[in-house]
Amino acid sequence: MHRKAQVGDVKKYPTESAAHSAADALRLTINNRCEHRNPRRTTINTLWEHYSQEELPLKALSTQDAYIIYAKNWIVPRWGNLPLEQVKTVEVERWLRATGVADGTKAKIKCVMSALFSHAVQWEFCGHNPISSGIPVGTGGKRGPSTGVRISAKRQRSPLVLSPEQVKLGLGELEFRDQLLVFLEGALGIRQGELGALRWLSCDFDNMSISVQHSYYWRRGGNLKSTKTEASAKLLPMHPSLKHSLQEWRSQSLYNKPEDFVFPSERLQGSKPLDLASVLKKKIQPAFRRIGITGVGWHTFRHSVGSMLAEMGEHQLTIRDYLRHSNLHVTNKYLQATSKTKHLAQDKWSTLFCRRVFCRRQT
């Protein structure tokens, strides 16, 4: 039996308290079935270390990084030294409301805290999750609107949606490579990571289709991962004009073998895809600012294509499959009616209302 284990080095745990928390987390795992363990001594610091060792590695790298940011920047500094039973629902809610950050950020912090306490309940470090329900496990009863931490995730403003005319004007300000990036993002509605992971072998020019199987994560040295959901891994149609543009770009590219990225980084000799965040900042956003449009992101084109399809009268199921969402609830968040569409709807309703109401009065 091994009596010693190295939990990390000074780089990983720069302070004595951090090292103690890591050791306590390891001790919790070792003594999990021990009858003499005292879960009441478990602090949020220790719980976070235990979660980081046992559950966090099972998540996608992008999710891991997001959880680490919210935990280390918000949760641990405020709650780290408190025992689990001293974390109260009302106090967490008051703290979140006082942070002054966006509602979406508050909701994500709450989500990470809830995940931590769900982990604690599973490992029997505590008896209930004060973030999601505040109801001890096994006490029965119903969850109501007043239980758990109540934080709205409402958007502060609607996502930017571009009209076809605005996209066309923006394209006129871009060079061919960047035009093709926007064209692909808009025509296919694919995500930024999927655009980066696209290889020439994914483009079936004979059958006029594109297969999206992977997504690229640029942090941690760059990583290829599976698509976000099963629905994401579907064939996408290739319009003739898109086929022509891709073939033209392939003829210009230094990296045109089947296994090469469609948009490779020439600085890294094609070993990794182009840094699309940098392209957005240095090329795409300045181009749209020149025509008076600010706040453009890669996801803007995905939102825009969903709204355009809705305005054209496409069925919601068609839009869901086009954007490769797993359910309609997500699709609905992407759809916005334009001012023109809302005016037309109002005209139809007002005309119908006037005919029925005022005609009755006249008779």
Instruction: Output the furthest CA–CA distance in the chain (Å, rounded).
Output: 96
Domain 1-155 in this protein, CATH class: mainly alpha
| DSSP code, position 217 | E
pLDDT at 303 (0 to 100): 82
pLDDT at 1 (0 to 100): 46
What CATH fold (topology level) applies to the domain 164-339? hpI Integrase; Chain A (1.10.443)
The DSSP bridge pattern shows strands 214-217 and 223-226 to be antiparallel
pLDDT at 349 (0 to 100): 47
Structure tokens at 3: 């009596």
Q: Report the distance separating Cα 287 and Cα 217, nearest Å.
A: 25
Tell me the domain boundaries of the chain. Answer: 1-155, 164-339
Crossing angle, helix 61-70 and helix 103-122, to 10 degrees? 100
125-184 residue pLDDT tens:
988 899 986 554 444 444 444 568 988 877 767 788 888 889 889 999 999 999 999 988
pLDDT at 164 (0 to 100): 85
DSSP string, 297-339: -HHHHHHHHHHHHHHTT--HHHHHHHHT-SSHHHHHHH----H
43 DSSP β-pair partners:
83
Phi, psi of 152 (to 5 degrees): -80, 140
327 DSSP β-pair partners:
none
271-285 residue pLDDT tens:
999 999 999 999 999
Q: In this structure, how many other beta carbons lie within 10 angstroms of the beta carbon of residue 147?
A: 15
3-state secondary structure of 237: strand
Q: Report the distance separating Cα 279 and Cα 149, nearest Å.
A: 39
3-state secondary structure of 294: coil
Q: What is the pLDDT along the chain (363 residues), one digit of tens a residue?
A: 455 666 666 666 667 666 656 666 655 555 555 554 555 578 999 999 999 999 999 998 989 999 999 999 999 999 999 999 999 999 999 999 999 999 989 999 999 999 999 999 999 898 889 998 655 444 444 444 456 898 887 776 778 888 888 988 999 999 999 999 998 888 787 889 999 999 999 999 999 999 988 899 999 889 888 776 666 667 888 889 999 999 999 999 999 999 999 999 999 999 999 999 999 999 999 999 999 999 999 989 888 888 878 777 787 777 777 777 777 776 776 666 555 554 554 455 445 445 544 454 455
